[in-house]
């Protein structure tokens, strides 16, 4: 069974940093691109970042470029999102999502990030 479990969310002050993790199991992690998608409270879905299976290619939404870094450790079956210079509008539930045929076929349960003083 495919499982994705996010962790690392919490309350952080504006300008602060946070690192999210997504531990996966049930599939060959290194064979799949992975993504982070966020959802602000009561809002729609916003793609944040993606990384190829071999970690050689990354993409970012303009809203997070230069502040967030996606990376992965294929030996630990874990995806990460390093978030720096956090702003109030980064407040959201962050989901990790597995990519197959370029669609997101499995999602974690999400972790809430709240940026507030």
Interface with another protein includes 110 (CB under 8 A)? yes
Residue 44 or 66: which CB sits closer to another protein?
A: 44
Q: How far is the CB of 2 from another protein (least distance, A)?
A: 10
| 35 vs 78 by CB, closer to another protein | 35
Nearer to another protein, 63 or 82 (CB): 63
- Grouping H, G, I as helix, E, B as strand and the rest as coil, residue 53 is coil
| Binding test (CB under 8 A) with another protein, winner from 45, 52, 71, 112 | 45
Task: Write each residue from 66 to 95 as x if it is in contact with another protein (CB under 8 A), else as -, in one continuous string.
Answer: -----------------------------x
DSSP 57-99: -EEE-TTTTTTEEEEEETTTTEEEEEE-S--GGG-EEEEEEEE
Backbone φ, ψ for residue 31 (5° rounding): -90, -5
Q: How many CB atoms lie within 10 A of CB 9?
A: 17
């Amino acid at each position: 069974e495919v499982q994705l479990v996010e962790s690392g969310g919490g309350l952080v002050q504006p300008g602060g940093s946070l690192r999210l993790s997504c531990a996966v199991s049930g599939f060959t992690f290194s064979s799949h691109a992975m993504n982070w998608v966020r959802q602000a409270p009561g809002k729609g879905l916003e793609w944040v970042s993606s990384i190829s299976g071999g970690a050689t290619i990354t993409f970012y939404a303009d809203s997070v470029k230069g502040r967030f870094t996606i990376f992965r450790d294929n030996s630990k079956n874990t995806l990460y999102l390093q978030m720096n210079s956090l702003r109030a509008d980064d407040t959201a539930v962050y989901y990790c999502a597995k990519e197959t045929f370029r669609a997101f076929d499995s999602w974690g349960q999400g972790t809430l990030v709240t940026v507030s003083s």
